[in-house]
Amino acid sequence: MRYGFTTGSCAAAAAKAAAYMLLTGKQKTEITIETPKGLLYTAGLEDITRSESEVSCAVKKDGGDDPDITTGALIYARVSFEKEIGQEIYIDGGVGVGRVTKPGLDQPVGSAAINHVPREMIKKEVLEVCELADYRGCLRVEISVPEGGQLAAQTFNPRLGIVGGISILGTSGIVEPMSNQAILDTIRVELKQRRAEGFDYVAVSPGNYGLDFMKRTYGYDLDKSVKCSNFIGATIDMAVELGFQRLLLTGHIGKLIKLAGGIMNTHSRESDCRMELLAAFAMKAGVNPACSREIFFCVTTEEAVRLLEKEGKRRKVMDYAMERICYYLDRRALGKLKIDCIMYANEFGELAKSKEAEKWFILLEQEQGQQI
């Protein structure tokens, strides 16, 4: 699969090209930068505007084979002379680049959402041009993305408190297709932000279905929750590292039942022992061998739960499954994080919960300021 280049790489390339044209007076149609990963990136330049005091140009974002919503967007850099004394590069965001409004993110509140690695890349590339042109003064670099306001609605930015546009991101400068690391980085950002807001507890769910279940069943809108995707174990590790004291995990039986076998990455590519576990728990609960065998060959966990309901053993089996889930969650946390869990099915609603899960409703009620 073909890799692409981050918005940070595009911004650095556009800034370098604009600085070159401003300081040398020469036209450029493409520019090459070195990414933090050590790979060279040669970018074509678009929409060049030049004057004696400033130059603006754009680089089109290419996400490679990664389904990145910013692919095709133009990342602009406008470089102008700054009247400060001494050599310095001032970097800010313009139209379509978000502004940070909440603590705990890569940049402080009030700053443009241009993360520190892209800022370092921009500064490095622009200073390289300054050295080439023997320029010792100050320059201002403004990064903008005309489509950024619309694109931001499809990102986590509104949820994170970044308003007005997208973030300029990237640690390696390279976009790797379907990168698990990108998902893990997002989880860490959300956890860090909540911790920075002063909370020592956090609600977590693998995805939107878990959040919808909480709202539908308990009336609680988990707008401050963290979506952990399949990375339940890694999310627990990060929560411990960041100093959280309590965590509530809510999810569908199709994912959470895997935890009862100690499996902490629930992606089907990594593991699929759902029916084996349910059949084993059914046998332990005294379900007749014929039904246990039928459960073993079920295609979906919802179907298996229907069979258990028919046998009158649903509650007993689910309670045992929750006991094993909590065992492995606690084992992963190494005693450093108190974890509660709620497991549900679409047809039956709540299937089981840990012994102290209901205490969370008091916490959530207090935080949200509503009756549950």
What percentage of residues in the chain have a pLDDT greater than 90? 69
Domain ranges of the chain: 4-175, 186-370
Q: Is the pLDDT of residue 58 over 90?
A: yes
State which CATH number among 3.30.2110.10, 3.40.640.10, 3.20.19.10, 3.40.1410.10 fits the domain covering 4-175.
Answer: 3.30.2110.10
Look at the block and give the residue holding tokens 């209901």. 358
Q: Is the pLDDT of residue 96 over 90?
A: yes
Q: For residue 216, what pLDDT is reported?
A: 77
Tens digit of each residue's pLDDT (9 = 90 or more) over 161-213: 899 999 999 888 887 765 677 789 889 999 999 999 899 999 998 876 676 77
- The mean per-residue pLDDT over the stretch 48-65 comes to 93
Tens digit of each residue's pLDDT (9 = 90 or more) over 269-293: 788 899 999 999 999 999 999 999 9
Secondary structure of the chain as H, E, C letters: CCCEECHHHHHHHHHHHHHHHHHHCCCCCEEEEECCCCCEEEEECEEEEECCCEEEEEEECCCCCCCCCCCCCEEEEEEEEECCCCCEEEEEECCEECEECCCCCCCCCCCECECHHHHHHHHHHHHHHHHHHCCCCEEEEEEECCCHHHHHCCCCHHHHCEECEECECCCCCEECCCCHHHHHHHHHHHHHHHHHCCCCEEEEECCHHHHHHHHHHHCCCCCCCEECCCEHHHHHHHHHHCCCCEEEEEEEHHHHHHHHHCCCECCCCCCCCHHHHHHHHHHHCCCCHHHHHHHHCCCCHHHHHHHHHHHCCHHHHHHHHHHHHHHHHHHHHCCCCEEEEEEEECCCEEEEECCCCCHHHHHHHHHHCCCC
Residue 350 — pLDDT band, cuts 50, 70, 90?
Answer: very high
357/360 Cα distance (integer angstroms): 6
- With a CB cutoff of 8 Å and minimum separation 6, the contacts of 37 are 172, 173, 174
What percentage of residues in the chain have a pLDDT greater than 70? 94
Tens digit of each residue's pLDDT (9 = 90 or more) over 123-153: 999 999 999 999 999 999 999 999 999 999 9
Residue 158 — pLDDT band, cuts 50, 70, 90?
Answer: confident
Q: For residue 144, what pLDDT is reported?
A: 98
100/118 Cα distance (integer angstroms): 16
Q: How open is the CA angle 53-93-136, to the nearest 5 degrees? A: 40
More confident site: 116 or 219: 116
Comparing 31-45, 304-318, 356-370, the range with the smallest average pLDDT is 356-370
Tens digit of each residue's pLDDT (9 = 90 or more) over 285-323: 999 999 999 999 987 899 999 999 999 999 999 999 999
55/263 Cα distance (integer angstroms): 54
Q: For residue 372, what pLDDT is reported?
A: 40
Q: For residue 371, what pLDDT is reported?
A: 42
170/147 Cα distance (integer angstroms): 19
Instruction: Round the average pLDDT of the chain to a whole number and report it.
Output: 90
Tens digit of each residue's pLDDT (9 = 90 or more) over 71-80: 999 999 999 9
Residue 358 — pLDDT band, cuts 50, 70, 90?
Answer: confident
More confident site: 195 or 159: 195
pTM reported for the whole predicted model = 0.68
